[in-house]
Amino acid sequence: MKASEIDISVVSVSKTFRTGLFTKKQAVKDVSFSIPRGEVIGLLGPNGSGKSTLLKMILGFLHPTEGEISVCGEKSQGRKARFQIGYLPENPRFPKFLKAKEAMLYYGALYQLPHATIDKKADELLELVGLRHVANERIKGFSKGMVQRLAIAQSLINRPRILIFDEPMSGLDPMGRIEIRNLIKKVHLELKDSTIFFSSHVLEDVEQLCSYVALMNEGILKTFSTTEALLSSEAQRYDISLDKEMTRTVDSIEELVSDLTTLLNEKKKIIAVHPHRKNLEHALFRQNESLQTRTQEKIG
Ligand SMILES: Nc1ncnc2c1ncn2[C@@H]1O[C@H](COP(=O)(O)OP(=O)(O)O)[C@@H](O)[C@H]1O
Ligand SMILES: [Mg+2]
C-alpha cells in the first residue's frame, strides 16, 4: 500500500493516565494499524476498552505516551492534521439558546471561512442531515436524534477528509439508530473519498456500514481486518429442517452432505436446507477465541 493512500497511521501507540499520586491506568496498549483512504471503519469494544482515548489521540486532543500517529501524512498534533478532521464527540452539546443554523454559522466561523461560504454550506448540510425545516428553531426543543444529526452536520462544515464519530448511535431509540446509520451511509456517498472512523458497541451498526472492523478490549487491539476477510474466514453453516418442526445445524458442507445422506437412508422427511447468514458476531467471537487459545499456549 502506498503511503499516500493511508489516511490514518497509528504506530505502537500507548496511553497511560495518571489516576492518583501513585496509581496509573494504561487505557491504550501498543496499538498499531493503518486506515486506507475512503474506507468506513467501525471501532468496537465494551465500555472502558480505550476507544474514546484512541480517537482523541488521532484527533490530537491527547498525546500518546508512546508511539506515533499521523493523519494524511501529518503529525496528529499539528494544525494541518486537525483541519483535515471532522469530529462528532461522544455526547455532543450545543448552547441551547442557539438555533440550528446559528450553531452551524458559529462553528463555521471557527474555521475562519468567509461568511457567504459558511452560510451556503450551512444550508446544504442542514438539508443533508434532514434539518433544513428546523434551521431557524432553537436547539432547546430538539430530540436527541436531531441534536446528533446537527452535530454530524457541524462536523462536516470544513469539508474534512476524515470523519471521526465517537458513538454516533449511543442513546438513540431503534428508529433513531437506523436514521443515523443511514445518514452515515449518505455522508460517505456524498463526500467521495472521505474516510469515516466511528466507535460503537453495537455489532450490527458496524456490520452494516463498515469495510473495516477494529475490536478493542482492555486497551488492546484484538482484531483489525476487512469485514469481508472476517466474514469469509467464517465457516458456512446450514440448518436442516426436518418434519415435526425439528431443526439441526451443521458446521460445513461435508457435514451437510453426510447428514443428508444418513437422513435420506433413514427415510426421514427433510423440509428444507438453509445456509446460515454469516455474521460478524460469530466471526469476531471465533477469532478472539482462537486468539485467547494462542495466548494460553504461549504462556503454557
Ligand atoms: N482522563 C482520564 N484519566 C484517567 N483515566 C481515564 C481518562 N480517560 C479515560 N480513562 C480510563 O481509560 C479507560 C478507557 O477509557 P475510554 O477510552 O473512555 O474507553 P471507551 O471509550 O472504550 O469506553 C477507562 O478505564 C477510563 O476510565
Ligand atoms: Mg467512549
Q: 121 pLDDT exceeds 80?
A: yes
Can you tell me the mean pLDDT for 153-158?
A: 93
- Of 14, 18, 19, 25, the one to substitute when testing ligand 1's pocket (max ligand atoms within 8 A of C-beta) is 25
Backbone angles phi, psi at 191, to 5 degrees: -90, 80
Q: If one looks up domain 3-231 in CATH, what number appears?
A: 3.40.50.300
Ligand 1: residue whose CA is nearest its atom 17:
50
CA of 57 from ligand 1 middle (Å) equals 12
Atom number of ligand 1 nearest to Cα 53: 17
Atom number of ligand 1 nearest to Cα 56: 17
Q: 165-208: per-residue pLDDT in tens? A: 999 998 898 889 999 999 999 999 988 889 999 999 888 889 88
Proportion of the chain above pLDDT 90, given as a percent: 59
Q: What is the DSSP string of 90-149?
A: SS----TTSBHHHHHHHHHHHTT--HHHHHHHHHHHHHHTT-GGGTTSBGGG--HHHHHH
Lining residues, ligand 1, CB within 6 Å: 17, 19, 25, 27, 45, 47-53
Q: 251 pLDDT exceeds 90?
A: no
Ligand 1: residue whose CA is nearest its atom 24:
48
Q: 281 pLDDT exceeds 60?
A: yes
Atom number of ligand 1 nearest to Cα 50: 17
Length of the chain: 300
Indicate the pLDDT class of residue 137, thresholds 50, 70 and 90: very high
Regarding predicted confidence, which is higher, 70 or 246?
Answer: 70
pLDDT (0 to 100) of residue 54:
97
What residue spans define the domains of the chain?
A: 3-231, 235-299
Q: 218-240: per-residue pLDDT in tens? A: 999 999 999 988 888 777 788 88
Can you tell me the mean pLDDT for 94-122?
A: 91
